[in-house]
Amino acid sequence: MINVILTPSLLGRLSLMLCLSLVLSSCGFYLQGQSQRSFPPQLNLYVDDPSLARVVSKDMLQHDVTLTVLDSVVGMDTEVPSVQLTGTKKHKAELILDTDGEVLIWRYTLSTNYLFMAGGQPISPEDETLKQTSMPLSVSTDVDLSGTNATVNERIEADNWTLLYQQLGNRVARQLSFE
């Protein structure tokens, strides 16, 4: 004989699923799925770091954006949307030292200030609101250099900076896709 009390009914299971769905959605959980990035068809790009400019340019061209890389923001076409990446800095900090004072783990950080301007906005170099609306973006990684020789350390450091430039370029592209 089957115990009816211990066997959940179909109605009970549906009620439980509905309750869980409501609880999860009310706390902000939702499935995002694949989002299609949307970029402007044409873009002016000013970047103060050549390595970051290469990464961002390559990424934008893969998304079929007609890109104009600017050497200066003075006299740029304000009818076309533009992205300015300024104040790009590389920072290397000691994170963990051994008993002899030798660095075991370094933290590499790459940061920039991101400013998007939609087309049709007149700008002036003295405009203080542009400095206030730029958004800082940064990426970092921790690197363990203990037990390796100097030649290997140089290669590891170069590879990590390359990786950080790629990650920062992806952050810029992701931010631009939300504009």
Quick: pLDDT tens for 123-151: 555 555 555 588 999 999 998 877 666 56
Whole-model pTM over 0.75: no
Task: Give the distance, in angstroms, between the CA of residue 130 and the centroid of all CA atoms in the same chain.
Answer: 20
What is residue 53's predicted lDDT score, i.e. its pLDDT? 94
Give the homologous superfamily in CATH for domain 40-178: Lipoprotein like domain (3.30.160.150)
Are the C-beta atoms of 56 and 45 separated by less than 8 Å? yes
**Within the chain, which residues score under 50 in pLDDT?**
none
pLDDT tens sequence across 44-65:
999 999 999 999 999 988 888 8
DSSP annotation string for 25-86: HHTT-----PPPP---SEEEEEES-HHHHHHHHHHHHHTT-EEEEES-STT--TTS-EEEEE
The single-letter DSSP state of residue 77 is -
The whole-angstrom separation of Cα 70 and Cα 168 is 19
Measured distance between the N- and C-terminal CA atoms of the chain, rounded to whole angstroms: 63
- Give the domain ranges of the chain: 40-178
